[in-house]
Amino acid sequence: MHKVKWLSGLMLGIVVLSSFRTINEKDDWKLGEDKNGIKIYTKKSEQGKIRTSRAEMFLDVPPAKVVEALLDFNSYSKWFPSCMEAKILKRVSDDEFISHLIYKTPWPLPNLDCVQRMVIDRKATGDTTFIRVKAEPNYIGPSGTCVRVKQMQDTWQIVAVNGGSMLSNVYYTDMGGIIPYWLANTQSVEIPYNIFHNMRDFIKGKSKK
């Protein structure tokens, strides 16, 4: 009888500890880069095999300038890594847009394209603006020989602080195996770092004009 109770308690303990470990692994952000005022974290994704990235930095411009840059789709090729072309397909409202982006990939891989819906929440509590972006792969047909990105989620949080903006971006994308998962995960730090670094230079450059 005591052996049965002991065994049951042991099994319950294993289940509890396993659940605790799984939750921690799922929610535990790991610092991947911290330089030039930019921090990049990654964690195991809930959506698939590609790691989710989170980038953070302070930018000494008001939030409106950040939003303006994110809405300037024609300029994405100047700062967004590998972006060859970006354009608006539909302006649903002042706070909702559907855009189409084409990305250059290394030979011999086919180029990628992504149709995405961007929704801006300007009514958030306090001085915070949220911008949520999600792939809409079936919105238009194929774009030449490009492979369509079918999974992508992107959330920007822009907080007005100290006369500037604190930016946070959580990003996940899965290119459907066109790039091996292990290789894509090696870019889970470099790509968001380059996005923030290039974006900062782009916004500051525009502010000086």
Q: Give the tens place of pLDDT for each residue, 28-79.
A: 899 999 999 999 999 988 766 789 999 999 999 999 999 999 999 999 999 9
User: Following CA atoms 203, 94, 62, 116 in sequence, which dihedral angle do they give, to the nearest 10 degrees?
Assistant: -50
Asked whether the predicted pLDDT for residue 21 surpasses 80, the reply is no
Domain ranges within the chain, ordered by starting residue: 31-208
- Which one of 3.10.620.30, 3.30.530.20, 3.60.15.10, 3.30.300.160 gives the CATH number of domain 31-208? 3.30.530.20
Burial class from Cβ neighbours inside 10 Å (0-12, 13-18, 19+) for residue 112 reads buried
Cα-flanking dihedrals φ and ψ of residue 199, to 5°? Answer: -65, -40
